[in-house]
Amino acid sequence: MNFTKIKSISNESKAQGCKKELYEVLAASKYLDNKIFKLIIEMFKKESISDSLSFLSQVENQKCWVKHIIEFDFLSSPYTKENINKVIKDIKYFTQVMKQINGHDFNIINYSNEDNIKNKQALIKKICNDENIIELLRYLVHLTSIDNKFIQSGSNSLHLLVEMKIDLRSQSLENIKIQNTSLLAANFARCDLSGSEFDNVVVSGMNLNGAKLYNCKWKNLRMHDGIELKGYDCGVNSICFSPDGKSLASSSTDIYLWNIKTRKIKSLLKGKCRITKVCFQPNGTILVTCGNKSVYLWNLKTRKQLSKLCVHAATVYSVCFSPDGTILASCSEDQSINLWDVKTLQLKVKLCGHIRAVYSVCFSPDGTTLASCSEDQSIILWDIQTGQQKAYLNGHTSRVNSVIFSPDSTLLASGSGDYKCGGDCSIRLWNIKTGQLKSKLDFDDHCVISVSFSPDGTILAFGNADNCIRFWDVKKGLNKTKLVCHTDNLNEICFSPDNTTLASASGCSDASICLWDVKTVQQKVNLDGHTKAVYSVCFSPDGTTVASGSYDKSIRLWNVKTGQQKFQLEGHQYTVFSVCFSPDGTTLASGSYDKSIRLWNVKTGQQKAKLVGHFDSVNSVCFSPDSITLASGSGQKNWKEDMSIRLWDVKTGKQTAILVGHTNGVSSVSFTPDGTTLASGSYDNSIRVWDARTGQQTFEFEDHQHIIYSVCFSPDGTILASGSYDKSICLWDVKTRYKKFELEGHQYTVYSVCFSPDGTILASGSYDKYICLWDVKTGQQKAKLYGHTSTINSICFSPDGIILVSCSDDKSIRLWDIQSMQQQTKLGDYSKSFNQGSFPIDGALSASQSDDKYIYLYNFKTGQQLDKLEGHNSIINSICFSPDGTLLVSGSDDKSIRFWDFNTGLQILQFDGHTRGVLSVCFSPEGDILASCSRDMSIRLWDFKAKKQQFKLDGHTNSVWSVCFSPDGTSLASGSVDNSIRLWNVKTGFEKSKLDGHTDSVWSVCFSPDGCTLASGSKDNSIRLWNVKTGQLKIKLNGHSNSVNTVCFSPDGASLVSGSVDKSIRQWNVKTGQLKSTLNVHSDSVNSVCFSPDGTSLASGSSDNSILLWNLKTGHLKSKLQGHSNCINSVCFSPMGTKIAFCSDDSSIYFWDVNIESEIPYFDQNYECMPAQMKTLPLQYNPFSESVNAITPILLIFKKPIFQAQNALIEQGEFVNYYGVDLRQFFKSKGSCFLESQVELKYK
């Protein structure tokens, strides 16, 4: 090191102080060996240093430096005095650099603020490829765990690393202290962040999958994710902050007052009609609401209604207090506006001028003017003192829905548009003094519903009919950001008085209130990502790049390490269905709905050639192993415009051959590794194998029952895999042409199959949103990966087999670390290999129905309560899954039926109508209709989409105990205590037929899968099979010696299983009526039986308080679940076959994860030492996780940042947002595991 250089830097530092450019300060590190950063950090740790500059500046510490230089084996060259002195000089030089950083603005201000965007972008451009500066930034991040003086520079450093998309995964970041910065979309997958402290940090879109988060102190966290307030069954019409900002009022048919900090309901004001608007008096003592033709005033101290004002002749849409709180304005569908004296509650004046309904009124902050807007497309400004019109603002050409004054009373904002036809969907800003239009912002077809100024007047927020909130910079006239927030109509938005929070309220199917961090949601998120469904992904041969093709017409190339977009390739006119790298890595081929194939230069991103020849959509492209030939498959289902495979010369772009044979479109093509053979899959349900040299078909596989979507050869060319619409995957022996295995596990169409490079694993992606990993040798499922929220269209292994990439209709691309599946975890003497097959996504949850009128969700493995479903006010009798498994419906003695979102545990809907307890509920096969039966002797059909009763079916003369839809959904069967079975026409609600024969109560009815036969079980000890078409008895099955409580057909319809009070389960041959087998294990009445969807397993529930899971092939008991204090009344497999739902006499509902088939064992004598053992677990594994993947996405490429925390291990610590709200439940909802709960449970 040159001492002259050191002195010059030192002198410059003194002369220029903090004025030196940040880049110059950071660039000074280029004279250093970047290994020195690690050496210095390790020295600090060993010596327990807390003042880094003091330690580095004192000459007497040099001996200590020498000791550590030798101890850490820092020098690769001999340990000569000269070499050691060189390192010492480097440390001295580095000390000067750190002194400059200490005094620089970089260690004072927040570099993530908008004010610094330009400077930051310029800096990033200079340093993004400088390894020494990047290592210096990493050093500064680690330094925050040692020296508090450098917390802000370390925080800014981490922000820069995130912005530059430096790979931060699997890093050791223990005890770092980060404050006042943005870590938006940071990827900390598998990082150890234990002991870290975050304060005022933006964590939106952060990836914490598999991270270790022990004893963290994260407070004042900021995120785009809104905090939801749930309490309504139907839409939230209006919201308003209290003047002190501590409370929020919201309305539907009732009025809720919320505590903002705790997110809890403070009080409920019972309404008697639909409340359209709520508004606080400025002093906070009165709340005014309106609905129907009346205005209501409430005393907030006593929670009592003060008065009801009735003057309007039609619905009152809006109310507003004057700034001093002495006047109340109300507007109505009757075209009038009323001004009331709040003290006397007398009408002061009636303002008439609008010729249609008046939707909104607003006082100016100075109290002199009232603005009103109307369906007549006008805005009127009124003089409060005289009641006269001051101005008539004309410009909107559709109804005006909302108006609001700016805080300084100089501007008025208005929003317009019609819900149905759109029309003039615009925001307009008006100059109040002149009445002139100042500026205008138009939208194509989404009307503006609500407008709100920020308290400082700089931002105008507005909600559109597309359920989004947008922000407009009033001074600059710029549309800043867009916030996608609700799933139903956005009814109102409102800023908190302190300008920190924006609240939004939405309609019926969403029925939620969201609270948003104003500071965070306004930040621009410049993330790369497809804007529509992604259909194809492919790794480059060197594994550094992933290509993707999308419905948005684009192809994108991604850096695998950072997730950063390298190129966006534009050219196709329609959807890109397939992308494929040439084996030499120089060319990318793409096939599109626009009938063309394009070849791209991977290095430059430029189009090399366009191959034209197909007459229809190009669905698949594949290079030969030598990169000389490209194969393509074309055609759409049943269009038959083009059913060909074409071979192309890559060099010339000329077509060399057409392979004809398929009788429908070709969906997939694949070359063998030696390039001599080509396989194709088609919409004609066949797989054809071709000689690639001659173009002749050599043979055909015809075993799939439906469309073939994907074909793929194993790396050695001996096996061909195929995925189909029939839900199956077939593995074919190419030499013998026989099927080796049929892999069953997906619940819906399999769209993509791909072999690992070593040929031992096959991956498959499906419409069911899962990726399955299969052992090619045994045909067994190894793992199941969940993360995508929609159909998985394509999957591809990296060349080294470590990473799997997937893409989906959810617009995202995910990268999975497959290698993690193989690792083991050992706790004490208990050793087990933990993989996704052991810990499936569904987990093991328990929904408990109780005499205390609640449903509880429990973690069945740990006994930990996850959620409480509040709503019913009496015992719950029946539960049922929706066909897609997303909803749980419950029927109760309180006469109501309630629908719960199974993922969130929130009630989303309630049906009332029965006059006595609801005994049974059942979804139609399509999930659009719900049937319920009751002690009131009636059956009711409910339209789930329309959310109303469709029919009431009367006919039974006693309680109806069982209802069941036919497989086609056209008929409903019911069984009753009146001894009869009745068949109903679902479309008309009329009784089709009555089946008589039983001599006692009919407890159970069940349709066969083909809908031709109905089985019934009765108190008369018999089972009867009925011809559904004729209503005639086909056969009577005798054998049970007591009441038959339950009957169930196997999925193939060949067998019927019954359970009885005689304690036995019997399996019958449906065709012959013969008894096939008897299972005698239960020690009391068998109350319910149910087949798994694949027909291989049977679940049974009994009065002996147990549930048994049977292997029907062997007749052996697979697993037993016991320990309940009451009998089990009903069991049911979830549609995916992964859970069994069951309910008990203890008024509870539970869920059992059948993939695990037993509770996760506690560790007995080793359990006491678990906390210490947990701390040494590999970061990528969480053996205590119940509802998350063991294999987690390590990288998510998506346009919208998504917060992820699957398998994050959390012990102790705190996670609190800027409201003071505990975010532990939020982390849990993202798949994190709280380890202390495991220990607490054992001690209890």
Tens of pLDDT along 385-415?
999 999 999 999 999 999 999 999 999 999 9
Question: How many whole angstroms separate alpha carbon 296 and alpha carbon 337?
Answer: 16
Specify the range with the lowest mean pLDDT, choosing from 112-116, 434-438, 638-642: 638-642
> What DSSP character marks residue 244?
T
Q: Does residue 1207 have a pLDDT over 90? A: no
Q: Which of 104, 84, 79 is nearest to 21 (CA)?
A: 104
Task: Provide the pLDDT for residue 1158.
Answer: 34
- Is CATH 2.130.10.10 the right assignment for the domain spanning 235-446? yes
Question: How many whole angstroms separate alpha carbon 359 and alpha carbon 329?
Answer: 12
- What average pLDDT does the structure give for the chain? 83
Task: Provide the pLDDT for residue 1166.
Answer: 27
Contact 629, 669 (CB under 8 A): no
Mean pLDDT in residue range 32-57: 87
pTM over the 0.75 mark: no
Task: Provide the pLDDT for residue 804.
Answer: 92
Task: Provide the pLDDT for residue 504.
Answer: 85
Contact 763, 804 (CB under 8 A): yes
Task: Provide the pLDDT for residue 1228.
Answer: 84
CATH architecture of residue range(s) 545-702: 7 Propeller (2.130)
Produce one character per residue of 596-612: b if its CB has 16 or more CB atoms within 10 Å, e if not.
bbbbbebeebebbbebe
pLDDT tens, residue by residue, 294-349: 999 999 988 889 999 988 999 999 999 999 999 999 999 999 999 999 999 999 99
State which H helix or E strand residue 126 sits in.
Answer: helix 117-127
Same topology between domain 235-446 and domain 545-702: yes
Mean pLDDT in residue range 92-98: 90
Task: Provide the pLDDT for residue 876.
Answer: 66
Q: Which residues contact 640 (CB under 8 A, 6 or more apart)?
A: 663, 664, 665
Q: Which residue's entry shows tokens 């173009």?
A: 695
Best-predicted range by mean pLDDT (815-819, 1001-1005, 1185-1189): 1001-1005
Question: How many whole angstroms separate alpha carbon 194 and alpha carbon 215?
Answer: 6
341, β-bridge pairs? 327
Question: How many whole angstroms separate alpha carbon 768 and alpha carbon 747?
Answer: 6
Tokens at 553, concatenated: 């017409």
pLDDT tens, residue by residue, 952-974: 999 999 989 899 999 999 999 99
Q: Which residues contact 840 (CB under 8 A, 6 or more apart)?
A: 784, 1138, 1153, 1155, 1156
Mean pLDDT in residue range 808-819: 84
HEC-encoded secondary structure of 539-605: ECCCCCEEEEEECCCCEEEEECCCCCEEEEECCCCCCEEEEEECCCCCEEEEEECCCEEEEEECCCC
Tokens at 1224, concatenated: 């532990």
Task: Provide the pLDDT for residue 823.
Answer: 28
pLDDT tens, residue by residue, 674-732: 999 999 999 999 999 999 999 999 999 988 889 999 999 999 999 999 999 999 999 99
Q: Which region holds residue 168: left if phi is over 0, alpha if psi is between -120 and 50, else beta?
A: alpha
CB hemisphere CA count around 836 (13 angstroms):
30
Task: Provide the pLDDT for residue 8.
Answer: 42
Helix, strand, coil fractions of the chain, as percent rounded to 5 = 15, 45, 45
- Amino acid, res. 216: C
CB hemisphere CA count around 937 (13 angstroms):
8
Specify the range with the lowest mean pLDDT, choosing from 281-295, 731-745, 870-884, 950-964: 870-884
Contact 686, 700 (CB under 8 A): yes
The end-to-end CA distance of the chain, in Å, is 63
CATH topology of domain 723-841+1188-1198: Methylamine Dehydrogenase; Chain H (2.130.10)
Tokens at 477, concatenated: 């006239």
Helix (H, G, I), strand (E, B) or coil at 61: helix
1148, β-bridge pairs? 1144
Task: Provide the pLDDT for residue 526.
Answer: 45
pLDDT tens, residue by residue, 347-364: 999 999 999 999 999 999
Task: Provide the pLDDT for residue 810.
Answer: 82
Burial of 997 (C-beta count, 10 Å sphere; 0-12/13-18/19+)? middle
pLDDT tens, residue by residue, 468-520: 888 888 887 766 566 655 555 678 889 989 888 888 887 654 556 777 777 66
Mean pLDDT in residue range 218-226: 79
Helix (H, G, I), strand (E, B) or coil at 127: helix
Percent of the chain at pLDDT above 90? Answer: 51
Task: Provide the pLDDT for residue 951.
Answer: 93
Tokens at 902, concatenated: 């199974």
Task: Provide the pLDDT for residue 1118.
Answer: 79
Percent of the chain at pLDDT above 70? Answer: 83
Specify the range with the lowest mean pLDDT, choosing from 117-126, 140-149, 364-373, 723-732: 117-126
pLDDT tens, residue by residue, 1064-1107: 999 999 999 999 988 888 888 998 899 988 888 898 988 887 88
Q: Does residue 859 have a pLDDT over 60? A: no
Helix (H, G, I), strand (E, B) or coil at 315: coil
Q: Does residue 1051 have a pLDDT over 80? A: yes
Best-predicted range by mean pLDDT (363-372, 800-809, 815-824): 363-372
Residue scoring higher pLDDT (1116 or 1054): 1054
Helix axes 36-47, 62-71, angle to 10 degrees: 110
Q: Does residue 848 have a pLDDT over 80? A: no
Q: Does residue 1181 have a pLDDT over 50? A: no
User: Domain map of the chain by residue range?
Assistant: 3-166, 235-446, 545-702, 723-841+1188-1198
Q: Does residue 3 have a pLDDT over 50? A: no
39, β-bridge pairs? none
Produce one character per residue of 44-66: b if its CB has 16 or more CB atoms within 10 Å, e if not.
beeeebeebbebbeeeebeeebb
Task: Provide the pLDDT for residue 1093.
Answer: 87
Question: How many whole angstroms separate alpha carbon 849 and alpha carbon 847?
Answer: 7
